[in-house]
């Protein structure tokens, strides 16, 4: 049950707790404390992402490939190899991206953007076709509509498979906008809409679960490490 309060002596915990309370103050109304916390978050997270991107990726994948001797600063005992001229290509593309900062040269920024779009399109086309299209169709009808186990017909599994098949097809029919949804076609589309409503309801229920867990986590941090009650 409720124990005595034992306030933390750790400055780190206090800073975290005070920032937490500043953000929660927004629930009453917008105020300077919340705005302060929000602006700190923007500045800190932007710099954190830049720092992590540089040291984890840019340094080993680009800087050390172009200037291997620089590796002595970060790993004095690691052997120094030869430089990789191929690394000039991503270096050039990266510098072209920065050209966006100058209006006259901003058109050069389209080249690295085009490379990024081409890479994304090239990788994702095949993967989406396989995983989100072919395998989904296979999972819907390929598993068989009369599963059995040890010679017994699993009627519940069969019914579930049939419902998934019917729901998927009717949902797809609902999304087709090029044909008027009336008659038998319209009834199938309506069934698809009802299936989608159940889907969105399940999504909402799950989303509530997710958000509440975050709230519980914050209160655990306040009541535990800060106030020492838990």
Q: What is the footprint of another protein within residues 60-99 (CB under 8 A)?
A: 60-62, 73-76, 78, 86, 89-91, 93-95, 97-98
Q: Interaction with another protein in 7-66: which residues (CB under 8 A)?
A: 11-13, 15-17, 19-20, 23-24, 26-28, 35-58, 60-62
The reply on whether position 185 binds another protein by CB under 8 A is no
Report helix, strand or coil for 152.
strand
- Give least dist CB 222 to another protein, A: 9
Q: Are 97 and 110 in contact (CB under 8 A)?
A: no
Locus of tokens 């034992």 = 6
Instruction: Find the part of the chain contacting another protein (CB under 8 A) among 147-155, 179-187, 220-228.
Output: 220-228
Q: Are 221 and 16 in contact (CB under 8 A)?
A: yes
Spatial separation of the C-alpha atoms in residues 66 and 84, rounded to whole Å = 6
Which lies closer to another protein via its Cβ, residue 73 or residue 151?
A: 73
For strand 152-153 and strand 148-149, is the pairing parallel, antiparallel, or unpaired? Answer: antiparallel
Spatial separation of the C-alpha atoms in residues 147 and 84, rounded to whole Å = 56
The reply on whether position 200 binds another protein by CB under 8 A is yes
Q: Interaction with another protein in 116-175: which residues (CB under 8 A)?
A: 116-133, 135-140, 143, 156, 160, 163-172, 174-175
- Give least dist CB 93 to another protein, A: 6
- Give least dist CB 185 to another protein, A: 16
Q: CA 103 from chain center: how many Å?
A: 32
Q: CA 124 from chain center: how many Å?
A: 16
């Amino acid at each position: 049950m409720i124990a005595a309060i034992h306030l933390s002596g750790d400055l780190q915990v206090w800073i975290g707790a005070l920032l937490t309370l500043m953000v929660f103050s927004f629930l009453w109304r917008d105020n300077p404390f919340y705005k302060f916390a929000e602006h700190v978050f923007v500045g800190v997270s932007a710099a954190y992402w830049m720092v992590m991107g540089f040291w984890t990726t840019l340094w080993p994948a680009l800087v050390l490939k172009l200037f291997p001797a620089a590796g002595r600063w970060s790993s004095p005992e690691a052997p120094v190899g030869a430089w990789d001229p191929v690394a000039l290509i991503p270096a050039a593309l990266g510098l072209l991206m920065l050209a966006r900062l100058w209006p006259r040269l901003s058109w050069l920024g389209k080249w690295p953007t085009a490379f990024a779009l081409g890479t994304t399109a090239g990788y994702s086309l095949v993967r989406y076709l396989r995983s989100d299209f072919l395998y989904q169709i296979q999972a819907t009808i390929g598993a068989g509509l009369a599963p059995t186990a040890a010679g017994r017909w699993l009627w519940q599994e069969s019914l579930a498979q049939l419902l998934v098949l019917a729901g998927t097809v009717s949902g797809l029919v609902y999304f087709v906008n090029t044909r008027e949804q009336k008659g038998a076609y319209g009834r199938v589309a309506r069934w698809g809409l009802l299936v989608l409503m159940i889907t969105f309801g399940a999504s909402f229920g799950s989303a509530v679960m997710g958000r509440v867990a975050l709230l519980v986590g914050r209160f655990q941090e306040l009541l535990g490490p800060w106030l020492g009650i838990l």
